[in-house]
Amino acid sequence: MAILRDRPYVQFNFLVDLGTGTTEGVEAGFQECSNIGMEVTVSEYRTGNSKENSVRKITGLNKATDVTLKRGVIGSLNLYKWLDDIRNGNQMAERTVVIQLQNEDHTAVVQTWKLLRARIIKHVSGPMNAKGTDVAMEELTLAYERLEME
């Protein structure tokens, strides 16, 4: 349920449900979520006897963009186990991932994105640097088939 207001919401209060039904705890906490999007392709068509010297635009298939989530390494294997299910051919490994934007005081969800039939297609940990002071990070890239917004 999107909540309309005059000024835009800030981007840093968001919840991620990886299809497990929970947005609580460190396993559901992410530092960053890349752009969420979709596009509808268009095919151009024109018959040779058309009276207009222009093409017709015919609506084609829709495509969803991949989403990347990043979090600090916390010693959890939940992402690896999900990816392992996918690579071993488990057809039930697809999930509905839900990303929710909250208002500034965390009292309401103001917009929701549902990534339907999502699966991990890439998981990366690192980089590691013996002289560095940054947090060790892991990131996962999700491919999904359909985007719904509420």
Number of domains in the chain: 1
Q: What is the pLDDT of residue 114?
A: 98
pLDDT surpasses 80 at 1: no
Q: What is the pLDDT of residue 91?
A: 83
pTM over 0.85: yes
Residue 49 lies in a domain: no
pLDDT surpasses 80 at 145: yes
Q: What is the pLDDT of residue 51?
A: 94
Residue 5 lies in a domain: no
Residue 91 lies in a domain: yes
What are the φ and ψ backbone dihedral angles of 85, each rounded to 5 degrees?
Answer: -60, -40
**30 close to 16: Cβ distance less than 8 angstroms:** yes
**106 close to 10: Cβ distance less than 8 angstroms:** no
The owner of tokens 């596009």 is 39
Mean pLDDT of 40-60: 95
19 torsion bin: left (phi>0), alpha (psi -120 to 50), beta (else): left
Q: Which CATH number is 68's domain given?
A: 2.30.110.20
pLDDT surpasses 80 at 22: yes
6 pLDDT band (50/70/90 cuts)?
very high
**DSSP-assigned beta bridge partners for residue 15:** 100
Mean pLDDT of 95-117: 97
Residue 8 lies in a domain: no
**Domain boundaries, position 128:** 14-44+55-149
Q: What is the pLDDT of residue 140?
A: 96
pLDDT tens-digit readout, 64-91? 999 999 999 999 999 999 999 999 999 8
Residue 25 lies in a domain: yes
**62 close to 40: Cβ distance less than 8 angstroms:** yes
Coil vs helix vs strand at 84 = helix
Residue 1 lies in a domain: no
